[in-house]
Amino acid sequence: MAPTIISEERASELLSMSTAIDRTETAFRQYATGTLVSQPRSSFDTDSGSLVFTPGENTDDSVIGTRISGKFTIGGSEQADYDVETPVKSDLVVVFDTENGELKGAVAGSRTPDVRTGALGGVAIKHLARPDSKTLGIIGTGRQARTQLEAAVAVTAFDEIRAFSRTEENRERFAREMGSELEIDIEAVDSAEAAVTGADVLVCATTSPSPVFDPDLLEEGTHVHTIGPAWKDAHELDMDVVEMADVIVTDSKEQVREYADRYFLAGTKHEEQMVELADVVLENHPGRTSSDAITLFSPMGLPGTEVILANEILNASTTV
C-alpha cells in the first residue's frame, strides 16, 4: 500500500490539541518505561542552511521515524538556530512501520511540531501549575505562543488571560484572532509588567536574546514556562528567575547534555537539580511541593514525540 502523505492543513483537521496533550502525556510514561526510544537531535549543516533530524521509536505502536526540519539561508540573511520564529523553515515528519519495514506515511508542515511544543506545555501546566490557577500571562504573540495558549486553556479554566508583545498591532491581532478561535476573552496589555503581575501561569514565547520581564514581578506560586531562546549568550529568562524556582523541570536531560556547550543552565548547579517531566507525570518526583512554590519548565523538545503525533494523524486519516 502506498504511504499516506498528509498536508499541514489536513493535519490541523485530524489532530486536536486535547488529543495531542493526552498522547504526549502517555509518551512521557512510555519514555520513562523505555517504550519510547529517543535520540538527541542532530544537524546537517551547509552554506545553504541546515537539516535537523529529531528521531524516535515507539515500540508500543511499532513505529519509528524522524522529524526533518529544514532551516535555510535566504538572500544572505542567516536565521537564528532554533529560534521561536523562523521565517524560512520547512518541516516533515516521516513514520515507518517496524512490523513490515514499510514507510507508513509523512506529515508535512509546521502544525505537527508546533502542536507538539504546545502539548509539552499543556502537560507541564497540568502537573506543575497550581490546581486553582486562574490567571494566565503570555509574553510573545507569535506562532508558538498560539499553540501554548491553545494547550493552556485545554488543561485549565482560566478566568483571565493577558497577552503582551512589543508591537501593539501584533498583540491586538493575537487577542482578537485567538479569542475568536478559542471562544475566550484575551486582554492585550501594553507592558510585560501587566502580563506578569498576578499571573498564576506565565508563558514566555519570544525571540528575545535578553530577559523579557523583571524577576521582582514574579509572585509566589507561579508556574513559569520558557520556550524562547535558552542559550548561554541569549536567554529570555533572567537568571534570577531560575534562582527563585523551587523546582526546575525539563522534558529531556539527555537533550540538555547534548547542548552542554550552549544551554544556559548547562554546567550550573541548576542543571544538577533539574527534574524530568516524565518523573513528575509518573509521580516519581512531586514536582510542585506547595502552593507557594515557583515551578519552572524549560523544555528542550523530547525527540520522538513528533513521530508519535504524526502517527496519530496518519491513523486518524484512515478512519475519517
Q: What would the pLDDT profile of 92-147 be if each residue is shown by its tens digit? A: 999 999 999 999 999 999 999 999 999 999 999 999 999 999 999 999 999 999 99
**188 and 309 co-located in one domain:** no
Q: Are residues 264 and 290 in the same domain?
A: yes
**pLDDT value at residue 118:** 98
Instruction: Say yes or no: 93 and 156 in one domain.
Output: no
Which tens digit of pLDDT belongs to each residue from 150-166? 999 999 999 999 999 99
What was the pLDDT predicted at 235?
97
Do 120 and 242 lie in one domain? The reply is yes
Question: What per-residue confidence (pLDDT) applies to 79?
Answer: 43
Please check whether residues 245 and 106 belong to one and the same domain: no
Q: Are residues 275 and 246 in the same domain?
A: yes
What Cα–Cα distance (Å) separates residue 10 from each residue in 4, 13, 54, 145, 316? 12, 5, 22, 21, 11
215 and 80 fall within a common domain: no
Residues 270 and 140 in one domain: yes
Same domain (yes/no): 75, 165 = no
pTM of the predicted model as reported, rounded to 2 decimal places? 0.93
pLDDT at position 80 is: 42
Domain that holds residue 151: 114-297
- Residue 148, pLDDT > 90, answer yes
Same domain for 140 and 275, yes or no, is yes
| Co-location of 107 and 44 in the same domain | yes
38 and 129 inside one domain: no
88: domain CATH number?
Answer: 3.30.1780.10
In the chain, % of residues over pLDDT 70: 95
- Could you give the number of structural domains in the chain? 2
By the 8 A CB rule, do 204 and 183 touch? no
Task: For 154-200, give the DSSP string.
Answer: HH---SEEEEE-SSHHHHHHHHHHHHHHHT---EE-SSHHHHHTT-S
Distances (CA, A) of 16 to 121, 214, 320: 15, 35, 14
Q: Please report the pLDDT score of residue 75 as a whole number.
A: 59
Instruction: Check residue 3 and report its DSSP letter.
Output: P
Q: 142: domain CATH number?
A: 3.40.50.720
pLDDT of residue 187: 99
Q: What is the mean pLDDT of the chain?
A: 94
Are 246 and 293 in contact, with CB atoms under 8 Å apart? yes
